[in-house]
A = this chain, B = another copy of it.
Amino acid sequence: MSGESNIVYIGRKPAMSYVMAIITSFTGSDAKDITLKARGRSITTAVDAAEITRRKFMKELNVGKITIGTEEIQQEEGGTRNVSIIEITLTRG
């Protein structure tokens, strides 16, 4: 689908779930790149998913820009806390 933004949000599922999402997202569109977004403990899963996809399934993929940052999360009990985020862009070579 055109107009679709090529973002895969990484959560708490096993890395292989996101590997499948990345592959589907690339093969289901003519997107040249896809950005993985993760925060907190899911950051490791994002790196795992990027590495597994690139090494085992789509060897033509390159790791593009990687950025880190901090997001303020609104807590239910009031106040905020900071959580780290990562964005990893994968590019079809």
Contact = CB atoms under 8 A, between A and B. Distances in A.
Q: Taking the full assembly, how many copies of this chain does it contain?
A: 2
A33 interface: no
A43 interface: yes
Contacts of A86: 47
Contact of A47 (B51, B63, B68): B68
Given A41-B44, A48-B84, A68-B88, 14 more contacts: A40-B44, A43-B44, A43-B47, A47-B68, A47-B84, A47-B86, A50-B68, A51-B70, A51-B84, A55-B70, A55-B82, A63-B67, A63-B68, A66-B67
14 contacts: A40-B44, A43-B44, A44-B44, A47-B86, A48-B84, A50-B68, A51-B68, A51-B82, A55-B70, A55-B82, A63-B68, A66-B66, A66-B68, A68-B88
